[in-house]
Chain A
């Protein structure tokens, strides 16, 4: 395994820490608490009250993003201190912030600032309607499009996890109708993601413009480690591309399947998910010939 090229992948935020692999790692707590204290001091004092078990903070869409970012940064930090260096990194959705931070493109605090300003920009610019995102498993892309067309549903496919797993976004009415119809049409599962923002949809184009003022006036450096874009699978090699990725990530669909496949084509055979869930590991089984995942905690104990 030591000879396999490894990628660090940074997940999106979650509200369920049941699979959290950090429990058996004594060194994780102090690192996490240290990042948490920095975040509390910089952006939100309430973060100090966070505890992964039964914490209402995980239902707060902004604070939940801070926590996920802090967790991912802590995890990657520990791996690096253990001498594990990835060939490449990728950020699933908001995982881009941790990916940029780990790669030395932005500071930890700048990542928090981007999360905060993106959220503010979205709340400021999104029309006063209810929105949602949903996941559907077991239907093909053409089935999803056909259901949307048949029922006049205005929604977007905003991510392809695999050939049979997609994320959609739009108004909550349209997304919820779609999720019901998807089950009737043979989806093995369809469920709301429990968010009120249609991330990665063109509904956030205005928000991206507002966010860009912060991103383009902040200190962003060329990544010291390659980062692959989940939007177009290009390498993010300079500060300009890093800035564009942050802005474009808000309102453009991404393709996780293509991203993981591109990493595999470049020789990556091993992935580790720098976060509290195992969602990317579970999903990877449906991306053919695409290496394998190992839990980050097992890498630390080697």
Chain B
């Protein structure tokens, strides 16, 4: 289990914000934790998949996509803030993510 430091948290936030600003051609300054990914940014699941791949590589994560998918069914992500929180949990718990629901 990885320990989430303030540095990691800031890195993740920075990557997520920059990612959506570029992919969705949105102004970085207008994206907030409350921005709705689908409604406000026209985001999609391919973007979510790409972000997961970015974090898997960056933090050398051992996690199967379907584990994340199962978790997301019970904990849907609508906003940028929720997405960041989920990424933190993925980094922290990797393939043990589903144990959080037990």
Contacts and interface: CB of A to CB of B under 8 A. Distances in A.
Given A143-B66, A183-B73, A189 B50 contact: no
Contact of A137 (B45, B53, B67): B45
A18 B69 CA distance: 27
A137 B52 CA distance: 13
B28 interface: no
A89 B51 CA distance: 30
Interface stretch (A80-88, A117-125, A169-177, A278-286): A278-286
B72 interface: yes
Indicate the member of A18, A143, A165, A189 with the most B CB atoms within 10 Å.
Answer: A189
Interface residues of B, number: 17
A289 interface: no
B46 interface: yes
Given A138-B65, A139-B65, A186 B46 contact: no
A181 to B, nearest CB: 11
B46 A139 contact: no
Q: Chain B: interface secondary structure?
A: helix
Please indicate which of the listed interface residues B48, B69, B73 has the most CB atoms of chain A within 10 Å of its own CB.
B69
Interface residues on A, range: 10 to 19
A178 to B, nearest CB: 15
Contact of A286 (B42, B49, B64, B72): B49
B46 A137 contact: yes
Nearest to B48: A188
Contacts of A139: 65-66, 69
B70 interface: yes
Contacts of A143: 66
A285 B44 CA distance: 14
B70 A188 contact: no
Interface string A179-193: 000011111110000
B91 interface: no
A188 B50 contact: no
B69 A282 contact: no
Interface string B44-63: 11101110010000000000
B50 A285 contact: yes
A186 B67 CA distance: 6
B45 A184 contact: no
Contacts of A186: 64-70, 73
Contact of A187 (B44, B50, B66): B66
A23 to B, nearest CB: 14
A187 B69 contact: yes
A164 interface: yes
A283 B66 CA distance: 19
Given A137-B45, A137-B46, A138-B45, A164 B69 contact: no
A256 to B, nearest CB: 14
A51 B36 CA distance: 30
Contacts of A285: 46, 50
B49 A138 contact: yes
Given A188-B65, A189-B48, 19 more contacts: A137-B45, A138-B49, A138-B69, A139-B65, A139-B69, A183-B73, A185-B66, A186-B64, A186-B66, A186-B69, A186-B70, A188-B45, A188-B49, A189-B44, A282-B44, A282-B46, A283-B46, A285-B46, A286-B50
Nearest 6 interchain pairs by C-beta: A186-B66, A186-B69, A189-B45, A186-B70, A138-B65, A188-B45
7 contacts: A138-B45, A138-B49, A139-B65, A186-B65, A189-B44, A282-B46, A286-B50
